[in-house]
Structures are given as C-alpha cells and as structure tokens.
Amino acid sequence: MGTTIGVWIAAGLTLFIYSFLYKDNPFYKFAEHLYVGITAGYWIIYTWAYVIQPMLIDPMIKNKEFILIIPAFFGIIMLTRWFPQISWLSRWSIAFTVGMGAGLGVTGAIQGFILPQVQATLVPLTGFNFETFNNFLIIFGVLTTLVYFYFSKEQKGVLRWGSKIGITFIMVAFGASFGYTVMARISLLIGRIYFLLSDWLKVLR
Amino acid sequence: MLKGKGIPIFITFLTGMIMIISFFIPHKPFGDIEKISLTWYSIIAGFTMLLGVDSLIGMHFRKLKRKDENWFFSLVLIIGFTATVVVGIIETVRFGTAFDERSYFTYIYNYFIVPLQSTMFSLLAFFIASAAYRAFRARNFDATLLLITAIIVMLGRVPLGEQISPYLPKFTEWIMQVPQMAAKRGIGLGISLGALGVSIRIILGIERSYLS
C-alpha cells in the first residue's frame, strides 16, 4: 500500500515538473518549492547522522576525545553571524577553513593533479605508427591549450598560432563534453518516462 | 585588536603551513594531521549548514509574513522542510538512524527527493537542446567544430550510430581519448596552477578578499 501511494506521489510530482515545458505554472512552482524544502530538511538530518554525531558527539562522549572541542568551537563561532555585535568572530572559523583548504590546495594540486598529468603527457614519440601520431596529438594539444590561456605576453607570432590551434582542441573538448552531457540528460529523461510507463501506468513490463 | 584581520590572517597562515608541513613529514604527530583536519573541516562545515538553512527558511518566512506574491509556495517549502526534519528526528529515535530502510525518512527520500531531483535534471534535456540550437548555429569554424564533435559523440554513443557506420563509435572513442583529453588536460593544468598560486597568496596573507 505504502509503495503504491509512493509511486502515485512520485508520478504526480514528475508530471508537475514536466508541466514547466508548457510554461511556468503553479504546479511546477509547488513541486519546485517542495523539492527545495524537503532537500534542505534531508541535508540537516544527513549532517547530523553522518557528520556531527559520528565525528563530534560520539568520539567526545564515548572516547573522551576532548580535542574535538576545537572544531566545535570554530563551528559554534561560525554561527555568530546571527549576532551583528560579535559577527567578527565568524572570521576566525572562515580563516581556519580557508587556511586548511589552501594548505591542502598546495599539496593536492601538485601531487594530485599537476605531476600525474604532466607524467601522463610525457608519452613516447618513437616509431612511425598510429600510436605515435596519437601521442604527438596529445602533447601538441596540451601545449597549445596551455598557450591559449597564457596571457602574460601579447599573443602574436608563434604564440598567436599556438593559441589558434589551442582553441581548436578546446572546441573539440567542449563539443564532446556537451554531447556527453546531453546523453546523460536524455538517459535521465528515458528513466523518468520508463518510471511513468512501467511503475505507475504498468504499460511496460 | 581582536576584531581586526590580524588574528584571522595568522590562523590562515598557521593552518595552511601545518597542512603543507604535514604532507612532507609522514610521521606522528604530523602524519595524521591531514586526516584529522578533514574531520575538523567536516564538523565546521556541518555547523555552516545551519546558517544556510536559516537564510533559506528566514527568507521564505518573511515572504509568508508579508503575504508576498506566491506566499503559498513559501508555505509549501516551510512545511516540506519542517515535516522532513520532524520525520527524521522521530525515525532517528525509533530506529537509531533515520536512514533505516523501514523508516518514513527513507520513504521521503525514495518517493519525493529521487523523482523530483531526476525529473528536474532530465528537464534540462529539453532546454539544453534549445540552447544548443542558439549556440551551435555554425557561424564560424570554431562553432562548426563544436557542433560536429557534439553530434559525432552523441551518435557514437547510441545504437543508431553503429547502424550509420561501424566506425562511428570507434571514432567517438578516439575523440574522447585523444583531442578531448589533450584539451581537458591543458585546461586542468591551467586551473591547478592557478589554484596553487591563489593558495600560496592566501597562506601568505596577500589575498584577503575572503575576510571582507
């Protein structure tokens, strides 16, 4: 019974959202606002269940990890933004998280992206075959793309040509990404239509 | 002095440097710092969730109080939020976790959030098509290239593409593996170098816009 009601609710909300294809209307607005409200509530419970309770409350009560008072303090002073007279305290929390992000950013960018990607670009150019051609295109594409984003010097001469070829590679990448995104959205659309025809209307088995 | 930017800049410098140093010293007590910091980061981010929700609910509550246009939908949002939180609390008490398969909280997730979210995103399939029509009109060489690549990639990913030519899926794969990857890598390297520069500027206190 619960499942049947759930399917009818889900089908109704799906149709409410699709009604936007005709034009903006109260049904769409209802579903949109309901979605935002429910999702906000969901994330509050999620944050409690998967962050605050297991990472802060339980270790402090069960394992006596009182060092966690520090992040709890920074978390609480973040809420001082509600009180204008002491809202300056929230800067300390922001500074703490930004500092942490920046520190992780330095090591993460170098070790996690720059070095592995440079390493993956240093491919062999030996022999006269299709693989060598592909490897050459990869190296050439990476370098020309980087040239396109190099603004420290006026782009003329070699830089101008490098930049022109770079934009060609970038356009191919954007086209491919766009194609991929469209396919992903279409597959979601097929999923929703399948749900309506199969789970709700039982037309498809 | 406490209200100034001195203490926050010092906190940023200290935490940033500790994170960098801990990376190069994989021994105790520095070795665990990265893991501990990520936990602390999550805890602080958990508190900021309250600020976000307060802002959202506060705005809709004010709209409701003033009886603004479309106030009814603000009421729907507040009821949806309140009901989900209340159900979450009740089910946490009942099952020990709101995420139990038998709980009404999971029911809300399955029959409200999942369909609403996937329908909302699938709606983009229509708008992306109309946006593509406007953006992709082959006005110059670059736009034409983007259009052709998108069409090849889309066709190469469906059975129709293989019907047109058995080489089409292979060509799509080649586009993804070679020119697409080269440009993506170049863009990624540029972003990472930029992020690295900004991170260093933040740690050294040169970049302070996040404190304003």
Condensed to tens digits (0 to 9), the pLDDT of residues A88-115 reads: 999 999 999 999 999 999 998 999 999 9
The C-alpha atoms of residue B175 and residue A175 are separated, in whole angstroms, by 10
Measured in angstroms, the CA of A54 and the nearest CA of chain B are apart by 10
A78/B78 touch (CB, cutoff 8 Å), yes or no: no
Domain ranges of chain B: 8-67, 68-122, 137-206
For chain B, say whether A194 makes contact (Cβ under 8 Å).
no
A195/B46 touch (CB, cutoff 8 Å), yes or no: no
> Average pLDDT over chain B, rounded to whole?
92
Give me the count of residues in chain A: 205
B123/A76 touch (CB, cutoff 8 Å), yes or no: no
Mean predicted confidence (pLDDT) in A159-164: 94
Q: What is the largest CA-CA distance in chain B?
A: 73
Q: How confident is the model at residue B133, as a pLDDT?
A: 75
Q: How confident is the model at residue A101, as a pLDDT?
A: 93
The C-alpha atoms of residue B50 and residue B70 are separated, in whole angstroms, by 25
Q: Which residues in chain A touch residue B211, judged by CB atoms under 8 angstroms apart?
A: 91, 94-95
Mean predicted confidence (pLDDT) in A125-144: 94
The C-alpha atoms of residue A53 and residue A59 are separated, in whole angstroms, by 8
Domain ranges of chain A: 1-64, 81-122, 124-205
Mean predicted confidence (pLDDT) in B12-16: 94
DSSP designation for A196: I
Q: How confident is the model at residue B167, as a pLDDT?
A: 94
pLDDT tens for residues B24-67?
Answer: 888 877 878 888 988 999 999 999 999 999 999 999 999 999 99
Q: Is B64 helix (H, G, I), strand (E, B) or coil?
A: helix
A178/B74 touch (CB, cutoff 8 Å), yes or no: no
Q: How confident is the model at residue B136, as a pLDDT?
A: 67
Pick from A74, A104, A178: CB nearest B150: A178
B196/A114 touch (CB, cutoff 8 Å), yes or no: yes
Q: Best residue in A143, A185, A196, A199 to probe B by mutation, most B CBs within 10 Å?
A: A185
* End-to-end Cα, chain B, rounded Å: 16
